[in-house]
Amino acid sequence: MDNDYFSKLTPQEKAILKDKGTEPPFSGEYNDFYKPGIFLCRACKSPLYESNAKFNSGCGWPSFDDEIPGAIVRYEDLSGGRVRTEICCAKCDGHLGHVFKGENLTSKNTRHCVNSLSIQFKAYDDL
């Protein structure tokens, strides 16, 4: 990870993006946030998700059923005695959260469970 991307983050943002932490459920600013725009990586500002991919999963974290092509990389995560798929920003490798399949919450059957502290919203008018 390029330290320049993480040098301007708050300690809480760095704990998520660099140290692979997780914010408490239902605590993030984007959990119940539904405005038209794009969600960017908070560290490197790369576009990650379009707002039309966001949905209410009830899990306590922002949920998306699709990413912008090429924006996300996936890694096997064996932490905590579970097998999960970690998702990170393809540009800076900042930790975003995890992706889950097979829950039948949307027609794409995919849920990107993302920490609010790892993303930043930009309205289409502000791009």
> What whole-number distance in Å separates Cα of residue 14 and Cα of residue 93?
12
Does residue 113 have an active-site annotation? Answer: yes
Q: Which of 62, 60, 4 is nearest to 30 (CA)?
A: 62
Q: 75 lies in which domain range?
A: 3-126
| 114 backbone dihedrals φ, ψ, rounded to 5° | -120, 140
- The pLDDT-based confidence of 58 (bands split at 50, 70, 90) is very high
Confidence (pTM): 0.94
Catalytic residue among 44, 88, 92, 113: 113
Report CA torsion sign: 57, 59, 60, 61. Answer: negative
- CA–CA distance from 124 to each of 36, 39, 65, 69, 118 (Å)? 7, 10, 20, 18, 19
pLDDT digits 0-9 by tens, 94-122:
999 999 999 999 999 999 999 999 999 99
pLDDT digits (tens, 9 = 90+) for 71-101: 999 999 998 889 999 999 999 999 999 999 9
CATH number for position 91: 2.170.150.20
Helices (H), 1-127: 3-6, 11-17
Q: With a cut of 60, say whether residue 123 has pLDDT above it.
A: yes
pLDDT at 50: 98
Strand bridging mode 47-50 / 54-55 = unpaired
Report the distance separating Cα 36 and Cα 46, nearest Å. 17
Which pLDDT tens digit goes with each residue over 8-52? 999 999 999 999 999 999 999 999 999 999 999 999 999 999 999
Tell me how many domains the chain contains. 1
Residue 74: the pLDDT is 98
